[in-house]
Structure 1
């Protein structure tokens, strides 16, 4: 019997919105994922990438994903008088006979749900065609939508919009545009979006899975995407706002992840590009939908330190542009509509400020003889706080928490923070670690100095020796993360923000695992780790309570109080193979005798969720009664249990 007494004494306040999300466009999380666009390479600007450390190259492949169908039509690219100069390539399609057309790869093909509507749009012009443009979805010669028609094309670029309605359910179908008679038409920015997309932008099932987590914040857009493998392919926020067709397509840093010589330094994801349809404006809209605080991360003039030596000197004119980007972003998010960037936000459709309060300075950066990251941070901090003293800045402690880089970062940050108030709000720490590390380090923050806060910005337990990447998101990893989070919650006076990484993985398009949510063209499911994050983000109060004594080996706990609901919230993690009985003493409390139990259980450490069994491991809720001021309860093996006990 494990006995714990729960005191009314508050151990520490808990930061509101402490548990959040980290979004990076990895594993096709944006295009092909959360961003609901169904077509690939919609504006004919894709590049094919290859290379290795400091040696990257791209070949333009503007027809990637597009091919002729329904006859002898011819596809060619042109740049004469383009629709816009940012993305100058467009398709010149010639039909040799009526019915000739072309189709798009669309990742795994087009998936339709019966009765649902899909918005199609494209830009077009012609000087040699007087017929109709016909649009539909088909498979094996059968039409699965009505055939929409557009007539009256002119010699000037014009945007055309139409709606397709699905007549039946279908997967792996083809999106087809054909011409009603012989002739030539120029096309650009061809798009197909489900009408039920959340905010008109986000794939509904994926967005709803995020909403269910009730995140306190969203960190974006990365991650290594922020830095790029070269400075040329870093994330430039200013190129991700404004009209969709004028956002410069960029090759993805993850298109060359883990390249090998025997494959010509090319991966199966060599055509992974960023259309930036999910850009900074959309990230802010996503934050509003989720009720999450936005946490953008800025580049500090460095390409990814793991993959490149590229940088701009911190005393250069070019570096000042990076600093100015941060200042302009704050104006874009918060500025009055009379300001330059506030006016652009209003023109995008959001005259009200987004309420940006936090900003990350650098991603996973560290100091070396060649890289003066500490000085770069100081220059950003000075410039930002001179103009916007209310903005909370997030620093970096390097790539992990057990290295000389990590120690050097803290040896610099703590004295600097003592000398200057508001120097840093919290320091970003990352750890991708074996499950054992999590179990062994639940007390990692117990003895941290309290003068500088921590942002646990990227963490995940990585089980070892598992080849099948989807099987790495097993119950062992989830239990390890749950155990680690008990220590993070108990130390909420020093760890003020925490989020798992990465967030999404599209099956068949994955560069990194484990991941929180897996999906394909139809289905999506949360991993056991997803439900652990949910248990913390949804079931954590405003104050951490003192308990005595600590539980025995293999059991982990954190106890908070939700003053709004009048409930003591007890988290109990049993990583062992046997059930354990725990007695909770509530002698200091006035209890109603009612509690809610939420359980996350598995039959083994290796058990996982999957497309076939998405709810095998999920949070299950029951209501119970008890007598007096003691709750005696059995904690199942391989489980995370949350008890919400009505008490005052």
Structure 2
């Protein structure tokens, strides 16, 4: 009996880690744009923050020419009250923004700029970008600030040359006091006006089936006050309450040197990309959104905080999930559907999936299974069509994992709608992946799995970006043959994490690496591309398992027009495959997509496609020679 492969089985998991959102996918070029950043300190059970409203901003040309202070008096709004007050001592003085590693703009792209300002007397303002040696590279037209009330101003920058590490500078023409807030600086080529073009293109080229968001541990927060609250991320961006990022304190440890402040203490969440924008991105990518909801638990690794499941406060978490579905799908006459429509999308986002909890597990103090049951019942009582995803905990080897399946399995057997799939996570070695290719063979067929976070972790002593080696990609490709072959159990799968900004990482390896101006896919990226783009709708039953002793792995699928034969040779010898044994295979013209290289090979900014997918035209017979250290897909007509 053939097996049906879930539509969009291979997708994305996005979390704001490694500066993957602000400083990455979110095309905003400035840091601390609303003067509300927090400086993050502490470690488990002792996190604290200090206001850092002037982080990233500095005087131009010197502190003697202008005095910069932060104020909360007479703010633009009460959500993000802090703003900049500039006491200009000298005509032509101003202030700069750090902008991560500076402003990078390709020739002719330009930027759209906006800000709010007020002044007691009319004054001129210019937005300029200077080179590192002080040369003016580009300037806006003169902006006349003439109102004592907060007023929004817009302008643009048109650059006729490449800008690298430029210094974003606000120049005030006249002395006096002027206040600023809510700066924005987006490249004109930003996708939907919001997303960094090259990063979105890499995502779109994968053809993902779904995107799970916004995390990850960000969903839970290191404290409940730090959790991701979707209702705070919709509406005008100026009125979204900024939050610190839990990854700002990653690595702080009371047991090893009492490290109080890490390498990225100013890693914040502007929420310029919120739930509405995530839905827009999924729509643009053509994939299903899978938002993950907090179940009243802070990160179980980092905190003991929880909201008691018997409390009225817990019911608010449940209501948040119901309101989210209304926001995504509700009629424009509903409360939250009206919010969506006002933001510019009266049509439903057609949400089908929702995650109940992130990486949760049951303990003596944490009743996660009960929490899931409450959420599931509330959701299905009102929205029976929504597919709920559970959690098997942080790994697939511990009692947490076994306890999860002891809970979920009988309930899924009794009611297939109870959980569409249970989210499993594993960050493992290459040997583990090779040894567990058949892991899902033994799963009862009523169990359904979402392999929501996985990656091969090898080369721990290498610099972060070099841990994404071809050797890791080979192991992942081999393991994923087991996911495809067990498509009746594994319904969805996504690599993690998705993005990493060079020099700004908290976790590695990662699928896509980038700096201020360039981006590239790791070898693992191309493995994901193979599975997302070259997997059919039906599994073809084949038996090449005897080749696995030589570390050669084969899986075959088809759709109505094409057959897809994946061959992963992680061994050290040529292997000949008899394609005539594949039911429905026809010799003749075919396309072959191939990756090859040394196991230590990596991609980089300098060599972004050293290990990448290469397309070849071929005329195939019934025999195919697979070379060592290769990943190939044969695409033939049926």
**TM-score bracket for this pair, using the shorter chain length:** over 0.9
- Indicate which of 364, 368, 374 corresponds to 1:373: 368
Match of 2:553 among 551, 556, 561: 556
Q: 2:98 aligns with which of 91, 95, 105?
A: 105
SS where residue 123 of structure 2 aligns?
coil
Residue 461 of structure 1 corresponds to which residue in structure 2? 456
The residue number in structure 2 matching 1:95 is 88
- Distance (whole Å) between structure 2 residues aligned to residue 472 and residue 590 of structure 1: 38
Instruction: Please state if 1:65 is matched with 2:44.
Output: no
How far did 1:11 drift? 3.1
2: CA distance between counterparts of 1:579 and 1:523? 37
Tell me the equivalent position of 1:42: 33
CA RMSD of aligned residues (A): 1.2
1:167-215 alpha-carbon deviations (Å, 9 max, x no partner): 3212111111111111111100011100100011100000000000000
Q: How does 1:194-213 map to 2 (within 5 A)?
A: 194-213=187-206
Question: 2:529 — aligned with what?
Answer: 534
Task: Give the Cα separation in 1 of the matches to 2:166 and 2:583.
Answer: 64
Give the count of matched residue pairs: 631
**CA, structure 1 residues 151+365, in 2 after alignment: closer, same or farther (shift >3 Å)?**
same
Structure-2 separation of matches of 1:341 and 1:222: 22
Asked if the contact 1:300–1:323 (Cα under 8 Å) also holds between the matched residues in 2, the reply is: yes
Residue in 2 that maps onto 1:519:
514
- Whether the 8 Å CA contact 2:130–2:166 is kept in 1: the answer is yes
Give the Cα separation in 1 of the matches to 2:7 and 2:328.
Answer: 21
How far apart are residue 419 of structure 1 and its match? 3.6
5+ long unaligned stretches in structure 1:
1-9
Partner of 1:6: none
Change (3 A) 1:574 1:143: same
**How far does the alpha carbon of each residue in 1:214-263 deviate from its partner, in whole angstroms, 9 at most, with x for none?**
00000000000000000001000001111011111100000000114536
Pair 1:584-2:579 in alignment: yes
Structure 1 segment 229-244 matched on structure 2, within 5 A = 229-244=222-237
Q: Is residue 385 of structure 2 the alignment partner of residue 390 of structure 1?
A: yes
Structure 2 CA distance, aligned partners of 1:99 and 1:538?
Answer: 55
- The aligned residue for residue 618 of structure 2 is 624
Whole-Å separation in 1 of the counterparts to 2:154 and 2:581? 63
Contact 2:222 2:298 in 1 (8 A): yes
Moved over 4 A (4+): none
* 1:527-560 deviation line (CA, Å, top 9, x unaligned): 0000000000000000001112424221011110
Q: Does 1:494 align with 2:486?
A: no
Report what 1:135 is aligned to. Answer: 127
Return the alpha-carbon distance in structure 1 between the equivalents of residues 563 and 389 of structure 2: 32
Match of 2:478 among 466, 469, 483: 483
| Stretch of structure 1 that moved more, 205-214 or 574-583 | 574-583
Q: Distance in 1 between matches of 2:109 and 2:96?
A: 21
CA contact (8 A) 2:544 2:553 kept: no
2:625 is matched with 634
Question: Residues 352-376 of structure 1: CA distance to partner in whole angstroms, max 9, x if unpaired?
Answer: 0000000000001000000000000
Tell me, in whole angstroms, the C-alpha distance in 2 between the residues paired with 1:196 and 1:222: 27
Contact 1:560-1:568 within 8 A present in 2 as well = yes
TM-score by length of structure 1 reads: 0.96
- 1:276 counterpart (262, 271, 275): 271
User: Deviation string for 1:378-420 (max 9, x for gaps)?
Assistant: 0001111110000000000010001101000100111222344
Between stretches 412-421 and 63-72, larger displacement belongs to 412-421
CA contact (8 A) 1:136 1:148 kept: no
Match of residue 32, structure 1, among 7, 23, 31? 23
Provide the residue aligned with 2:609 in structure 1: 615
Residues 1:587 and 1:121: Cα distance change in structure 2 (over 3 Å)? closer
Of the three residues 279, 291, 295, the one matched with 2:290 is: 295
CA contact (8 A) 1:133 1:151 kept: yes
* d(CA) in 1 for partners of 2:409, 2:231: 33
For residue 353 of structure 1, what is the aligned residue in structure 2?
A: 348
Q: How many angstroms apart in 1 are the aligned matches of 2:105 and 2:164?
A: 7
**Paired residue for 2:140?**
147
CA pair 502-588 structure 1, distance change in 2 beyond 3 A: closer
Q: Aligned pair in 2 of structure 1 residues 272, 587: CA closer, same or farther (>3 Å)?
A: closer
Partner deviation per Cα, 1:573-615 (whole Å, 9 max, x = no partner):
011233322221157537261111000111x211100111001
> 1:3 maps to which residue?
none
The 2-side partners of 1:192 and 1:465 are apart by: 37
Q: Is the 8 A contact 2:126 2:139 kept in 1?
A: no
Residues 406, 590 of structure 1: alpha-carbon distance in 2 compared, 3 angstrom cutoff: closer
In the other structure, the counterpart of 2:431 is 436
1:27 is paired with a residue whose SS is coil
Q: Aligned to 2:439, what secondary structure does the other structure show?
A: coil
Given that 1:260 and 1:266 are in contact with CA atoms closer than 8 Å, whether structure 2 keeps it comes out as: no
Matched residues in 1 for 2:145 and 2:603: separation? 52
Mean CA deviation greater in 548-557 or 258-267? 258-267
State the Cα distance separating 1:266 from its structure 2 match. 1.1
Alignment partner of 1:407 out of 399, 402, 417: 402
1:54 aligned partner:
45
Q: Which whole-Å CA distance do the structure 1 matches of 2:179 and 2:66 have between them?
A: 13
Relative to 1, partners in 2 of residues 1:386 and 1:99: Cα closer, same or farther, differing over 3 Å? same
| Preserved contact between residue 359 and residue 392 of structure 2 (Cα < 8 Å) | yes
Q: Which residue of 1 aligns with 2:154?
A: 161
Picking from 257, 261, 266, the partner of 1:266 is 261
**What is the aligned partner in structure 2 of residue 4 from structure 1?**
none
C-alpha distance in structure 2 between counterparts of 1:168 and 1:142, whole Å: 13
Match of 1:117 in 2: 110
- Asked if the contact 2:318/2:375 (under 8 Å) is kept, the reply is yes
- Supply the distance in 1 between the matched residues of 2:634 and 2:106 (Cα, whole angstroms): 39
Q: Which of 556, 567, 571 in structure 1 is aligned with 2:566?
A: 571
Superposed displacement of residue 636, structure 1: 1.9
Point out which structure has higher relative CO (alpha carbons under 8 A, 6+ apart).
1
Question: In the aligned structure 1, how far is the partner of 2:109 from the partner of 2:444?
Answer: 56
